[in-house]
Amino acid sequence: MKNNVLKFLMLALLPALILSACGAHETPAAELPGEEGAASSAEVIAEGRLEPARATNLTFQARGVAAEVLVKAGQTVSEGDVLARLSNAGEAEANLLVAQNAYDALLRNESGNRAQLWIAYQQAQSARAEAEREWEDLDVEAIDDRLEELDGEIEDLKEDLQDAQDEFDKYKDLSEDNSKRKTAEDDLETAQENLNDKIREMEEEARKRDGVKAAYDAALAAEAEAKYQYEISLDGPNAEQLAIAKANLDAAQDALANFVIMAPFSGVAADVNVKAGEQVAPDTRVVSLIDDSAWFVETTDVTELEVVDLSVGQTVSIRPDALPDLELTGVVTEISAAYTQSSGDILYAVRIRVDGSDPRLKWGMTVEAIFRTSE
């Protein structure tokens, strides 16, 4: 009887308990966009890299030995500064000086023109006279005799080498441990080394004569050109003479550019890759020069879904990964019309001009660019 009454009471109270439980766990209605508490702005966040306003890798246009490297990494340079020079730049610099003097002289008045060309001619004469003295002081006959002697020694050494080769050929099929074969092989190597040494000695002896003679010939040519320019100035400058002088100057500048590196713009040497005394070629990077008067950021991961919300002139917040305490601002200057594809995503490059600067900024730093797309 008691059990039946208890069951009846529990069944009667069950609906009330269920209603009470539902009321205790009622979920509040979600706020709609635009209502109080919703986000007040949207952002596009992209990754990019810092780039200077201008950057270039400078190389020589000729092969040779770096005689001077006049700049260090981090050094500020001005447009036109000489940064590096090859050891064989002297003749090109002398020819440029003559050509520059001749051209400048034609731009001045007639008397000044002749005076300047006369000075250039006298300087060329002095240079020729010095080169001539060096050539005359050189005992060319003794060098020629020595070269003839060396030539005979080389012929003898060639015969010795052939004899050593013939001797080795007799035993070359024997075991490498065979004493006769080893002796013949050693004699062959010695004969070859003796010949090579003598050839190098002959080349060095020839350079004593040929180097001085080349310098003398160059001085003669420079003097002849300076004399010619002076003599044609006696009748006064004219358009034809000026055109010829300008062409000579341009040619001399082009020739010098093969041997001398000058800064094409003012900036900072970001890297110096060559030291004095090192061999260089036209593909050898000598100096990396940047113009850090302004910085730019180019993004690498703005997708097609994000780029439609961006526009030229838009303000951007920029945060370098390496400088978490630094926040810069910038302005979008360009949005690429071309795309790249990466891992299935369509990406567009966005270029941003950075407002201001910071001495800690470095070329290539990774940054986070934050575009405010709505208010």
Could you tell me the CATH number of the domain that includes residue 272? 2.40.30.170
228 and 100 within one domain: yes
Closest CA to 47 of 288, 364, 334: 364
Q: What is the pLDDT of residue 239?
A: 60
Please write the tens of the pLDDT for every residue from 306-349: 999 999 999 999 999 999 999 999 999 999 999 999 999 999 99
Domain boundary among 257, 280, 299: 257
Q: What does the alpha-carbon distance between residue 54 and residue 294 come to, in Å, rounded to a whole number?
A: 9
* Res. 120: pLDDT tops 50: yes
The CATH number for 187's domain is 1.10.287
250 and 265 within one domain: no
53 and 117 within one domain: no
Q: What is the pLDDT of residue 345?
A: 92
pLDDT confidence bin for 291, thresholds 50/70/90: very high
95 and 82 within one domain: no
- Tell me if 118 is assigned to some domain: yes
- Tell me if 298 is assigned to some domain: yes
272 and 250 within one domain: no
278 and 224 within one domain: no
Q: What is the pLDDT of residue 3?
A: 45
CB 96 within 8 A of CB 255: yes
143 and 53 within one domain: no
294 and 174 within one domain: no
* Res. 212: pLDDT tops 90: no
Mean pLDDT over the full length of the chain:
84
Task: Provide the token pair at 244.
Answer: 């010829």
* Res. 94: pLDDT tops 90: no
Task: Provide the token pair at 230.
Answer: 């002076």
CB 332 within 8 A of CB 48: no
- Tell me if 16 is assigned to some domain: no
- Give the predicted TM-score (pTM) of the model: 0.47
* Res. 36: pLDDT tops 50: no
Compute the average pLDDT of residues 361-365. Answer: 92
Compute the average pLDDT of residues 159-188. Answer: 90
Please write the tens of the pLDDT for every residue from 228-287: 888 877 765 566 777 888 888 888 888 887 888 899 999 999 999 999 999 998 889 999
- Tell me if 22 is assigned to some domain: no
336 and 348 within one domain: yes
**Overall domain count for the chain:** 2
Beta-ladder partners of 347:
303, 340
Q: What is the pLDDT of residue 259?
A: 85
- Tell me if 282 is assigned to some domain: yes
Domain boundary among 236, 257, 278: 257
- Tell me if 23 is assigned to some domain: no
- Tell me if 290 is assigned to some domain: yes
Burial class of residue 311 in the structure, from the number of CB atoms within 10 Å of its CB (0-12 exposed, 13-18 middle, 19+ buried): exposed
Determine what percent of the chain is predicted with pLDDT higher than 70: 85
Domain boundaries, position 55: 39-86+261-375
266 and 253 within one domain: no
Q: What is the pLDDT of residue 237?
A: 55
Closest CA to 69 of 282, 292, 283, 271: 271
CB 69 within 8 A of CB 273: no
Compute the average pLDDT of residues 194-203. Answer: 91
Whats the size of the chain, residue-wise? 375
Domain boundary among 257, 282, 297: 257
266 and 127 within one domain: no
282 and 204 within one domain: no
- Tell me if 21 is assigned to some domain: no
Q: In 81-178, where does DSSP find H-type helix?
A: 90-107, 110-137, 140-171
Q: Which residue has the higher pLDDT, 252 or 126?
A: 126
What is the secondary structure of 218-264 as a DSSP string?
A: HHHHHHHHHHHHHHHHTT---HHHHHHHHHHHHHHHHHHHTTEEE-S
* Res. 40: pLDDT tops 60: no
